Amino acid sequence: MDANIGVLALQGNVSEHIDAFLLALERTGHGPSSEVFEVRSPADLADCTVLSIPGGESTTISRLIDKNGLYEPIRQFKGGIFATCAGMVLMATEVADPRIHPLGLMDMVADRNAFGRQRESFETDLPISGLDGGSFHAIFIRAPVVTWADPALNVLARLDQGIVAIEQGKHIALSFHPELGNDTRLHERFLKMNGI
């Protein structure tokens, strides 16, 4: 199936996700009829098969989602969502920060900056359940965690601080940055989950 992959382009690692999805499409044998493009408005979102919400500053992205009239369109979006770092926070039903208007698309509670400030950023080889090739070299930058998730959700990876990779239906949320590097296995997994 060909795909129109939208990357929410309000703030954060937009170009890195576009490049990662283009590479994932190439590696999975998709032709030039599949597209990856920036999403800034409800009209852009209407053209999407799936959506990526990249990392960035969660309070800023939340405010810009509201300002650009995207809150309800994203909530009503029928395709899968690939959410990383700040995106994971926005996907939650509950966030302990009144500045964030979570989308409530995954039945979980997220904790922003669970590992501390920028200087506490780190990298680790993270075992991920069901991922071909086993572990994934994960880059955590001011990363969140999920502190509670409905048991129906599929937890893919944990660290001592909490859940760092989780799936629900067509959605996947990661507290790290899979777009920073050449490993597109998680992007490919997401495309396969969504029949792409």
Whole domain around residue 125: which residue ranges?
A: 4-193
pLDDT tens across 83-95, in order?
999 999 999 999 9
List, as one string, the DSSP characters of 67-100.
HTT-HHHHHH--S-EEEETHHHHHHEEEES-TT-
Indicate the pTM of the whole model: 0.96
Distance CA 46, CA 121 (A): 35
Distance CA 130, CA 142 (A): 26
Which domain CATH number covers 127?
3.40.50.880
pLDDT tens across 157-168, in order?
999 999 999 999
Query: In this structure, are residues 140 and 88 in contact, taking their beta carbons and an 8 Å threshold?
Result: no
Distance CA 139, CA 136 (A): 9
- Whether the per-residue pLDDT at 151 is higher than 90: the answer is yes
For the annotated catalytic residues, the residue numbers are 85, 177, 179
Mean pLDDT of the chain: 94
Contacts with 80 (C-beta within 8 Å, 6 or more apart), sequence order: 50, 51, 169, 170, 171, 172, 190, 193, 194
Helices (H), 28-179: 42-46, 58-67, 71-76, 86-91
pLDDT of residue 118: 64
pLDDT tens across 177-188, in order?
999 989 999 999
Our count of domains for the chain comes to 1
Query: In this structure, are residues 184 and 131 in contact, taking their beta carbons and an 8 Å threshold?
Result: no
pLDDT tens across 103-147, in order?
999 999 999 877 776 666 899 999 999 998 879 999 999 899 999
